Amino acid sequence: MAGITLSDVSKIYDDGTRAVSDLNLDVQDGELVVFVGPSGCGKSTALRMIAGLEEISEGEIKIGDRIVNNLRPRDRDVAMVFQNYALYPHMTVAENIGFALRMRKVPKDEARRRIEETAKILGLQEHLRRKPRQLSGGQRQRVAMGRAIVREPHVFLMDEPLSNLDAKLRVQMRAEISRIQRQLRVTTVYVTHDQVEAMTMGDRVAVLRRGVLQQFEAPQRLYEQPANLFVASFIGSPAMNMLDGRLERNGDGMVCKIGSASFVLPAEIVKDRPALANHVGKPIAVGIRPEALDQSESQNGDTGVLRGRVQGIEALGSELLAYVDIEAKPVLVEDVLEGIVDMEAAKDIAEIKGDADGARATVVARLDPSARVHPDDVLELAVDLRRLHFFDLDSGRTIRA
Amino acid sequence: MSASTGVSGPRSLPTTAQSERRQRIARTLTYSFLIAVAIVYIFPFVIAVVTSFKTEPNATADPLGLWPSPVSTTAFHDLYTGQDFLRWVKNSVIVTLSVTFLRVFLDSLAGYALARLQFRGRGLVFAAIVAVMAVPGVVLLIPKFLMIRQLGMYDHYSGMIVPLLVDAAGVFIMKNFFESIPVSVEESARIDGASIFRIYWSIVLPMARPALVTIFILSFQGSWNELAHFIISAQSSSLNTLTKGVAQLASGQLGSGNRYPLKLAASCLMTIPVAALFFIFQRRIMNVQSGALKE
């Protein structure tokens, strides 16, 4: 068993593009770390550098105590699961799983025992004699896992292993991979573009964007304390509502204005975030998670609520999402758009939204399923002020200390 | 035709009958034409088979007759005993099998290197190989002859075999096929601990079976039917292949009279291996290709 350390790792292609820039992070022994980010963020490249399939342009990668920069993939003692499974189509399941053992000249008896053990862990015993093309997608995925497990390597590397499966199977395999990883306690790096996968599977999650590490934290902290606009928008579904706001002093305290509404910030919020004082009078981005909005009971006028017309609802059974059109300016900087949609699409959306007057925003509220809300209702949304997020519009960073 | 019925609504019934008749006539004409062409194509072959069972006088008197009278196997008997036929067969088999197996191996090695290995000048090498395909074989006969002489391979099996061992088209086919195999399969094998040759041998080659079968057939047929190269690479009659021997028979150097039955019996026998190969592999080529690339 071994941890992985990346020190100032960069990947620079011949044409000068930096796919990965000065990546620093360490994966603890036995930990499952997820690399997540939109397509083109460098997560797969980083993984392939750890695997040895991609040369390291700058920096140093250590697995355990060994610097592996110049080691061949097979000498790094890593096993990898590919997105398209990369099974050997002419070999049976048993031969597929046993190939690495054959390459390592493991004695036949032991190899057979290990293949059978692996098949048992994955429920593949009955399929050992089949060829990959006779298997379903989920079974092929298991074989790919089996090939990694049987090696008993120091490190598992998984490159979007579930993205070729249908939604239901993906949820099931997600749990299964987590279970196997916990059972074997093998250090794992898992790459995905799906933030739900990242949140549910990762002990810690590294969010990447354009080759740069944005934040590396446990999922819950990532959700509750995003480091910047991008992470805040990327993590969480539906995405965090981002509204233009302005801070004003109010005696000893502080008031946050969003559109025509103003909110008196609780004292402890202001105390926790001394840097807020530096932004008084300046525009900032205010982030509100959908669950920090609730139907206001009190109907007590303008302060402390966002009022707007319901545009649409999505009843999901366990919750009800209400899309409410309010009078406030949405934050449409690239950091936010890129977090919500793919990069290519982001530019188009920015253009479209830029044409609008920009004085109205649609916010999503996560309401109780029993809430009686209908399209075109006028809704008052109470804001949980303790769960507001504040971001500097220039740097995109969260405003804290 | 269906369009006309659709447009002219009320008159559609008579139109349908009419168009049906027209269709039938068209079909009859098409088939008659096709049958005529097929006969033209197959006739020489039928004549060859039939004539090989004729006696010599019968063949001379009635060269295009479709039934031998009397039916005779003299020609085959003569071939077996009289001429050097068996030696030709032996030579052809030696040359064809060596060329075919080695060519499949070498073409695939070269194709793999060009498809996957990074080395300086790879593009140039590939361009040169493609360029060779554009040069007519006849142009190279004399230079080949000179080189074979120079290398001391003239009038020897090596001179007949070695120059045929690699062909540009085969390398080209293999390279294209290897490029269609997902890279991740090979990367996976690399991580599993396989060397480059091991990846080629244990992973890529088995996956390339459809292309290998194609090369196998092309090589077998090509070297079995090769004539020009054997003419310039050997002169002694002990190295005659079937093609060379039969060509000499046909040009009348070896015997008196026209000897049609003998010549055509040799031709017929010579056709059998290639025909058999096609029958065997015809189905396999198609079958293997489907599903071979399924991940």
What's the domain count of chain A? Answer: 2
Could B295 and A52 be called an inter-chain contact, meaning their C-beta atoms sit closer than 8 Å? no
**φ, ψ dihedrals at A53, nearest 5°:** -85, -15
Q: Quickly state the pLDDT bin for A31 (edges 50, 70, 90).
A: very high
d(CA B220, CA B167): 12
The answer to whether residues A203 and A275 belong to one domain is no
Could A80 and B206 be called an inter-chain contact, meaning their C-beta atoms sit closer than 8 Å? no
Stretch (H or E) spanning A78: strand A78-81
The answer to whether residues A65 and A37 belong to one domain is yes
CATH 1.10.3720.10 fits B84-292, yes or no: yes
Best mutation target among A82, A102, A147, A163 (most B Cβ atoms within 10 Å) is: A82
What is the C-alpha R_g of chain B?
Answer: 26
Write down the pLDDT at residue B65.
Answer: 80
Could A100 and B192 be called an inter-chain contact, meaning their C-beta atoms sit closer than 8 Å? yes
Give the amino acid at A87.
L
Residues 85 to 124 of A: which have CB under 8 A from any B CB?
A: 85-90, 99-100, 103-104
CA-based nearest residue in chain B for residue A52: B191
d(CA B283, CA B71): 35
Residue A186 located in a structural domain: yes
The answer to whether residues A216 and A244 belong to one domain is no
CB atoms within 10 A of CB A133: 14
d(CA A189, CA A80): 10
Write down the pLDDT at residue B288.
Answer: 43
For residue A148, the domain's CATH number is 3.40.50.300
User: Is the CB of B120 inside 8 Å of chain A's CB atoms?
Assistant: no
The answer to whether residues A203 and A302 belong to one domain is no
| Torsion sign (Cα): B173, B176, B182, B186 | positive
A72: left (phi over 0), alpha (psi -120 to 50) or beta: beta
**φ, ψ dihedrals at A13, nearest 5°:** -85, 170
Nearest by CB: A82 against B188, B202, B209: B188
The answer to whether residues A160 and A239 belong to one domain is no
Write down the pLDDT at residue A192.
Answer: 93
DSSP string, B172-209: HHHHHHHHHS-HHHHHHHHHHT--HHHIIIIIIHHHTH
Residues 191 to 250 of B: which have CB under 8 A from any A CB?
A: 191-194, 198, 202-203, 206-207, 209
What tokens were used for B285? 């080529």
What tokens were used for A176? 């299964």
pLDDT in tens, B102-116: 999 999 999 999 999
Contact at 8 Å (CB) between A146 and A118?
yes
Residue range A42-55: mean pLDDT, rounded? 93
Could A88 and B191 be called an inter-chain contact, meaning their C-beta atoms sit closer than 8 Å? no
Write down the pLDDT at residue B77.
Answer: 84
The answer to whether residues A181 and A271 belong to one domain is no
Could A74 and B193 be called an inter-chain contact, meaning their C-beta atoms sit closer than 8 Å? yes
The answer to whether residues A181 and A247 belong to one domain is no
- Indicate the pairing of strand A78-81 with strand A155-159: parallel
Give the amino acid at B294.
K
pLDDT in tens, B225-260: 999 999 999 888 888 898 888 888 777 655 556 778
Q: Where a domain ends, among A169, A194, A226?
A: A226
What tokens were used for B139? 């142009």
Nearest by CB: A133 against B187, B190, B294: B294
> Considering the entire predicted model, what is its pTM?
0.79
Could B191 and A103 be called an inter-chain contact, meaning their C-beta atoms sit closer than 8 Å? no
Long-range contacts of B226-229 (CB under 8 A, 24+ apart): B226/B164, B228/B137, B228/B138, B228/B141, B229/B141, B229/B144, B229/B160, B229/B163, B229/B164
Q: Quickly state the pLDDT bin for A299 (edges 50, 70, 90).
A: low
Please give the interface size between A and B, counted as residue pairs whose CB atoms are below 8 Å apart. 70
Domain ranges of chain B: 2-75, 84-292
Residues from chain B contacting residue A72 (CB–CB below 8 Å): 190
Nearest by CB: B182 against A84, A90, A103: A84
Residue A399 located in a structural domain: no
User: Is the CB of A216 inside 8 Å of chain B's CB atoms?
Assistant: no
| C-alpha dist (Å) from residue B78 to B59, B75, B273 | 16, 5, 21
DSSP string, A176-232: HHHHHHHHHT-EEEEEES-HHHHHHH-SEEEEEETTEEEEEE-HHHHHHS-SBHHHH
User: Any idea what DSSP says for residue B14?
Assistant: H
CA-based nearest residue in chain A for residue B189: A100
The answer to whether residues A245 and A205 belong to one domain is no
The answer to whether residues A67 and A213 belong to one domain is yes
Specify which residues A287 forms β-bridges with. A242, A389
Write down the pLDDT at residue A123.
Answer: 87
What tokens were used for B187? 């990367």
Q: Quickly state the pLDDT bin for A300 (edges 50, 70, 90).
A: low
Instruction: Walk along chain B (295 residues) in steps of 10 and give the mean pLDDT of each run.
Output: 45 71 93 94 89 84 81 82 82 94 94 92 92 87 92 91 91 92 92 92 91 90 90 88 84 64 87 87 56 36
CA-based nearest residue in chain A for residue B290: A133
Q: What is the ipTM of this complex?
A: 0.82
Residue A398 located in a structural domain: no
The answer to whether residues A216 and A133 belong to one domain is yes
d(CA A353, CA A358): 7
Q: What angle do CA A150, A158, A346 make, to 5 degrees?
A: 170
| C-alpha dist (Å) from residue A204 to A171, A174, A374, B50, B163 | 19, 16, 39, 83, 62
Residue of higher predicted confidence among A350 and A90: A90
User: Is the CB of B182 inside 8 Å of chain A's CB atoms?
Assistant: yes
The answer to whether residues A32 and A159 belong to one domain is yes
The answer to whether residues A20 and A100 belong to one domain is yes
Q: Where a domain ends, among A177, A206, A226?
A: A226
User: Is the CB of A151 inside 8 Å of chain B's CB atoms?
Assistant: yes
CA-based nearest residue in chain B for residue A51: B191
Residue A400 located in a structural domain: no
Residues in chain A: 401
Residues from chain B contacting residue A51 (CB–CB below 8 Å): 187, 191
d(CA A13, CA A6): 19
| Torsion sign (Cα): A228, A234, A240, A246 | positive
Residue written as token pair 């290519």: A344
d(CA A144, CA A122): 10
For chain B, the distance separating the N- and C-terminal CA atoms, rounded to the nearest angstrom, is 44
Q: Where a domain ends, among A226, A260, A285?
A: A226
What tokens were used for B29? 């004409």
Residue A401 located in a structural domain: no
Cis peptide before B70, with omega less than 30 degrees from 0? yes
Q: Quickly state the pLDDT bin for A344 (edges 50, 70, 90).
A: low
d(CA B4, CA A217): 71
User: Any idea what DSSP says for residue A135?
Assistant: S
Q: In terms of DSSP H, where are the helices of chain B? A: 2-7, 12-52, 56-61, 74-81, 85-116, 122-134, 137-150, 157-161, 168-180, 183-192, 196-198, 205-207, 209-224, 228-233, 242-250, 260-292
Residue A380 located in a structural domain: yes
User: Is the CB of A147 inside 8 Å of chain B's CB atoms?
Assistant: yes
Q: Quickly state the pLDDT bin for A298 (edges 50, 70, 90).
A: low
Stretch (H or E) spanning A363: strand A360-367
Q: What domain range is A42 assigned to?
A: 4-226
Residue written as token pair 């549910």: A200
Q: What percent of chain A shows pLDDT beyond 90?
A: 49
Q: What is residue A315's three-state secondary structure?
A: strand
User: Is the CB of B156 inside 8 Å of chain A's CB atoms?
Assistant: no
Structure-derived torsion over alpha carbons of residues B109, B114, B118, B123, reported in degrees to the nearest 10: 150
User: Is the CB of B288 inside 8 Å of chain A's CB atoms?
Assistant: no
Residues from chain B contacting residue A97 (CB–CB below 8 Å): none
d(CA A264, CA A97): 62
Residue A397 located in a structural domain: no
d(CA B77, CA B266): 11
Residues from chain B contacting residue A99 (CB–CB below 8 Å): 189, 192, 194, 202
Cis peptide before A238, with omega less than 30 degrees from 0? yes
User: Is the CB of A51 inside 8 Å of chain B's CB atoms?
Assistant: yes
